[in-house]
Amino acid sequence: MKRKWTALWQGLSASLKWRVLALTLAVFIAVAVPAFLAFHWIVDTTIVKLGTLFAEKQVLFDRYRGMDALMREVSLAETLARAPAVREWAANENDPDKKARGIGELEHFRIAFKDQSYFFVVDGSGHYYFNDRQDSFSGNQLRYTLDRNNPRDGWYVKTTAAGPGCQLNVDRDDKLAVTKVWINCPVMDGKRVLGVLGTGVDLSAFIQEVVNFPQTGVQSMFVDRDGAIQAHRDPAMVDFHSLTNDTKNKKTIFRQLDSDADRETLAGMLATLTGGETAVESRFMRIDGHQYLVGVGYLDRLGWFNVTLMDVDRIIDRRLFLPIAGLLGFMMAAAVVLLTLLFKRSVLDRLARAEEVARRVAVGDFSIAEIDNGPDEIGRLSRTFARMVQAVGHHTRELEATVQERTDALRRLAHFDPLTEIYNRRGFTDAALRVRRRAKQIGKDLGLMLIDMDLFKHINDEFGHASGDVALAQAARRLESTLQANDICARWGGDEFVVLIADSDDVMLALVGTKILDAVGRPPVRLDDGRELTLTLSIGACRMAADAPLEQAVAQADAALYAAKRAGHNRVVVYDPARHSQLAAPQAKSA
Assigned CATH class of 214-236+245-315: alpha beta
Is the Cα dihedral 240, 244, 248, 252 positive or negative? positive
pLDDT of residue 167: 80
Sheet architecture: strand order including 142-145? 142-145, 127-131, 118-122, 192-202, 178-189, 167-173
**Cα radius of gyration rounded to whole Å, the chain:** 35
According to CATH, the topology of domain 425-590 is Alpha-Beta Plaits (3.30.70)
Average pLDDT per run of 10 along the chain, which is 591 residues long?
A: 64 50 66 71 68 64 62 86 91 91 91 89 92 89 88 82 79 59 88 90 65 71 83 76 63 88 90 82 88 83 78 71 70 63 64 71 67 72 73 76 77 85 91 91 91 91 90 92 91 92 87 92 87 92 91 92 91 88 51 33
Which residues lie across from 142 on neighbouring strands? 129
- Exposure b/e, 398-431, CB count within 10 A at least 16 = b: eeeeebeeeeeebeebebbbebbebbbeebbeeb
What's the confidence (pLDDT) of residue 310?
82
Cα angle, residue 54 at apex, residues 52 and 60 outer, rounded to 5°:
105
Per-position DSSP letters for 397-451, written without gaps between them: HHHHHHHHHHHHHHHHHHHB-TTT-SB-HHHHHHHHHHHHHHHHHHT--EEEEEE
Angle between helix axes 550-566 and 425-442 (nearest 10 degrees) is 110
Domain 82-204 shares a fold with domain 214-236+245-315:
yes
The whole-number pLDDT of residue 16 equals 40
pLDDT at 308: 84
- Strand ranges (E), 142-289: 142-145, 167-173, 178-189, 192-202, 218-224, 229-231, 280-287
Is residue 91 within 8 Å of residue 187, measured between CB atoms? no
Q: What angle do CA 337, 340, 346 make, to 5 degrees?
A: 115
CA distances from 401 to 59, 364, 407, 423 (A): 16, 15, 10, 25
How wide is the angle at C-alpha 13 spanned by C-alphas 7 and 19, nearest 5°? 115
pLDDT of residue 359: 76
Instruction: Assess contact for 38 and 45: CB atoms under 8 A.
Output: no
Backbone phi, psi, residue 68, to 5°: -60, -40
Q: Residue 360: how many CB atoms within 10 A of its CB?
A: 15
CA angle, 303 as apex, 300 and 307 as ends, to 5°?
A: 90
Query: 523 preceded by cis ω (within 30°)?
Result: yes
Distance CA 160, CA 423 (A): 31
Q: What is the pLDDT of residue 147?
A: 87
Phi, psi for residue 587 in degrees, rounded to 5? -65, -40
pTM of the complete model beyond 0.75: no
Domain ranges of the chain: 17-50+317-412, 82-204, 214-236+245-315, 425-590
Question: With respect to CATH, is domain 82-204 assigned 3.40.50.300?
Answer: no
Beta-ladder partners of 218: 310
